[in-house]
Structure formats: C-alpha cells, structure tokens
Amino acid sequence: MNDVEGALEPRLTIGSEQLALLEQLSNTIGVSGHEDAVRSLVIEKIRSRVDDLQVDTMGNVLAACRGTTAERVKVMLAAHMDEVGFIITADEGGGLYRIERVGGLVTNWLAGKVVSVGRETLPGFIGTVPIHLLDESDRGRAVSMKQLRVNLGAQGAGRVSLGEVGTYATRFKVSSNTIFGKALDDRLGVATLIELINHAPANIDLLAAFTVQEELGLRGAGIAAYKMTPDLAIAVDSTPAYDLPVWDGSENTRWNSRLDDGPAIYVADRGTISDPRLVRHLVQAAEATGLPYQLRQPGGGGTDAGAIHRQRDGIPSVSVSVPGRYAHTPVMVARISDWQATVNLLYLALQRMDRTILDRSDDDYR
C-alpha cells in the first residue's frame, strides 16, 4: 500500500523504446547553428502526434498539441536541440585543420579524442605531442585551442570547408541505471518533450519548442516564445551535477545538482529568478505524487527560461533539468531513474495545471 496521494496515477516509463530514441538523439550531431540533423529527427518523431508544426526562421521547431477542456492554460515547454562543439577555421593542408569552439566546450578535454567532422561526419582525431617529446616546462601546461588540430588522416586534405562544424564521436552507452553519451545536454530535454507530446494532457495547450542556439546565449528560445505567446513556460534542460569529492576531502559545497536526487528545479540561476508560483507548483506536484526532486543550487548557469521570461509583456517561467555530470565534454553521465522522474514530474505537474496557477498570492515558493 502506498498512501501518497496520486501514487496510483498513471506513470510514464523509460523503457527500451525511449532509450533507443535518446541514443539516436545523442549520437546525432547538432552543433549550435547547425541543428539540421537533430531537427529532422525531431520532426520525424513528432509529425504525426501534433496539431501544428512549424519551423521558424532560425530553425526552431514549434509544435502544438491542443487540449480539449475549456479554459486551457497555454504552456510552453522548451528544450534546446543544439550542442557545443567546434568549427573549422583554417585548412593547414595534409588533413590538418584549425578549430575554434562553438559554445562553452570545455577545452581541456579535447586533446586525444576521436571526433566527427563536417556534413559527411568524417572520422578524425585531435592529436597531441607525445609526452616523451615534451619539454619539462610544458608538461601539465593546459593545452590551448591554438595548439590543437583536427586530423582527418592522410587523405583528409580538402575534405571539409571552413565553417563546417564537428564534435566528439562518442557513442551512446547504457550500463544498468546509467547513461553515458555526448550532448545529453540537452537531448535529454528533447527526448523528454517528445515523450510528453506522445502523452499530451487534455487540460492544457502544450506548446513544444525545440530550440536552436541555446549554447550561444539562449538565442532561439526568445523568438520562439515571442511567437508562441504562452501563459507560462518551462525550460526542460540538463544541469551539471558536480557531486564529486573535493580534491582535499573537504565538504563539497558547490555541487550544483546531484545524480539520483531526481529532477532539479531551478529557484535562481545567473540571470533568472524562477517564478515562485511555478516553483511551488512543481514542488507540490512532486510531493503529492511521491516523486523525488531537488532544488538546483542557486547561482550561475542559465537555460532557455532566461530568454523566454522577458519576452513581450513577461512570461512566468521556470526550469526543470535532468542532472548530468560533465556537461560540454565528450561524455556526460546521467541516470535513467532521474530522467524518468523528470518526465513524470512534468507529466503530472502539467495535468494539475489550470489558470489559478497564475493567481498572485505570495512570492515565497515554499
């Protein structure tokens, strides 16, 4: 027996079908500004499930699933399709290319990795001077972008053009409850939105925005929100989990979020204070249904909500993220259970939404 109210409500499950979708999304390359492949995949998956589908001038996918009840609240859900990566800036001949980063790629993970480059997703690698040939003074010195080259092999000369992009060639992997993969930021969000479209609640108009260029400063979400004019918005993203030991064994006070603690609800990030009414709604939905949740550590970072909430005459916004370690590196680590709880928290919270959610009473989220 479970006496938690709502414990018997239908739940969504992350099974092999959902993991296969996430695998496909994770392995697809969609560096900011070049989201085409991800966009095609998203459209293929949702086309038959939505009432309206548009691609806007920047490449955002704007979809709508209209509810059936009266007095529906218009809820925008945003997940960004793009990922960080690199862009080819010079062809040095012999299959060697210089690169610059696109978005906040963590540069000290680049050396010695296999990458996929250009429209043809050519295999290549980022080489390094062998440790044996390094001067003592260079050992341990952080490698700068200037020193790094993408190498496409003996026949690689002229195979890609300046301006083409690439990223890590990491292959998605599942090990019991754990997911390893690139671009889980924010393909986890994209997969979540697709799952919610497949189970769209009748009591709201679900406006799903699959956005572009989030990693370049939330550029796609703003215009998406302007067009959609929702009553409120939820950015669905992935947030870093820094739940590792501190080098000197002291207490970790800067964990941001933690794996296994469930969806991370944002109270505040670098520039956005979440709407307290929406924070409260999510917290109450989680508590009423016995779902785990965590409040993301307030502070830096940002999501599409940062651009959405200031559109037009203001759109109350909040963010919910699946915690994931090592964002913007070749491989992120996340938990299937956290993802499933995130999908369900949104699913159940959306079902509990009506216009009264926007009644102003007090601003304390607790």
Partner 1 sequence: MTIVDSLNGDTVENIKGLLRELVQIPAPAGHEGRVRQAIQEIITPHVDSIKVDALGNLIARKGRKAADGRHILLSAHMDEIGVIATHIDANGFVRFTSVGALFLRYLPGGHVRFLDGARGLVGVNIEPGQTKFPSMEQMFLDVGASNRQDCPVQVGDLAVFDRPMLEIGNRVVGKSLDNRTGVAVLIEVIRSLGESPHTFTFVFSVQEELSRQGAMTAAFASDAEMAIAVDVTTSGDTPQAARMAVSLGGGPAIKVRDQGMIADARIVRWMADSAEQAGIPHQYEVLELGTTDAQMIQVAREGIPSGCLSIPLRYLHSPAEMVDLNDLAQTYALLTRLLTGKAAF
Partner 2 sequence: MATDPTMLNLNEYLTAMLSLPGIPGNEAPVRDMLARVWSPFVDEVSSSRLGSLHAIKHGGGAEPRRRVMVTAHMDGVGMMVTEIIDGFIRFTDVGSLDARVLPGQEVTVHGRRDVPGVIVDPGERLLPADLDGRAAPMRYLFIDTGLTPDALTAAVQVGDPISYALQPLALDGDWLLGHTLDNRASLAAISICLEQLRDVPHDWDVWCVATVQEETTHAGAMTSAYTIQPDMAIVLDVTYGRTGENHDPSTFPLGEGPTLGIGPNIHPVLHQRFKRLAGDLEIPYQIEVLPGNSLTDAHALQVVAGGIPCMVIGIPLLNMHTPVEVAAVKDIQQTGYLVARWIEALGKNIVEPLLAEEPA
Tell me which residues touch partner 1 (CB under 8 A).
Answer: 251, 253-255, 267-268, 271-276, 295, 297-299, 309-316, 358, 360-366
Residue 156: CB partners within 8 Å, gap ≥ 6? Answer: 94, 95, 96, 122, 124
On whether the CB atoms of residues 322 and 189 are closer than 8 A, the answer is yes
Q: Which does 299 bind (CB under 5 to 8 A by kind): partner 1, partner 2, none?
A: partner 1
Among 3, 142, 251, 362, binds partner 2 (CB under 8 A): 142
* 129, 107 contact by CB (below 8 A): no
**Known catalytic membership, residue 214:** yes
Q: How far is the CB of 312 from partner 2 (least distance, A)?
A: 36
Number of residues forming the site for partner 2 (CB under 8 A): 60
Which residue matches tokens 């590196």?
A: 329
- In the bound state with partner 2, the residue whose beta carbon lies nearer, of 117 and 282, is 117
For the chain, report the end-to-end CA distance as a whole number of angstroms.
28
Q: Are 326 and 168 in contact (CB under 8 A)?
A: no
Strand partners, 97: 91, 150
Question: How large is the greatest C-alpha to C-alpha distance in the chain, in angstroms?
Answer: 72
Closest alpha carbon to 311 in 224, 233, 232, 222:
222
Query: Considering 214, 215, 251, 287, which one is annotated as catalytic?
Result: 214
By CB under 8 A, which span of 22-30, 142-150, 220-228, 306-314 interacts with partner 2?
A: 142-150
Burial group, residue 47, by CB count within 10 angstroms (0-12, 13-18, 19+) = exposed
Site for partner 2 in 77-96 (CB under 8 A): 92-96
Residue 113 near which of partner 1, partner 2, none (CB within 5-8 Å, type-dependent): partner 2
Q: How far is CA 353 from CA 65, 169, 280, 284, 328, in A?
A: 15, 41, 12, 12, 34
173 binds, among partner 2, partner 1, none (CB under 5 to 8 A by kind): partner 2
The dihedral over CA atoms of 321, 324, 330, 336, expressed in degrees to the nearest 10, equals: -100
Smallest separation, CB 99 to partner 2 (Å): 14
x/- binding map, residues 161-200, to partner 2, per CB under 8 A?
Answer: -------x--x-x-xxxx-x--------------------
Nearer Cβ to partner 1, position 155 or 250?
250
Q: Is 128 or 351 the residue whose CB approaches partner 2 more closely?
A: 128
From the list partner 1, partner 2, none, which binds 364 (C-beta under 5 to 8 Å, kind-based)?
Answer: partner 1
Q: Which residues of 246-266 are buried (b: 16+ CB within 10 A; e: fewer)?
A: eeeeeeeeebbbbbebbbbbb
The one among 27, 151, 337, 351 contacting partner 2 by CB under 8 A: 151
Site of interaction with partner 2 (CB under 8 A)? 92-96, 106, 108-109, 111-114, 122-134, 139-143, 149, 151-156, 159, 168, 171, 173, 175-178, 180, 242, 244-248, 252, 254, 325-326, 329-331, 333
Q: Give catalytic residues, as residue numbers.
A: 214
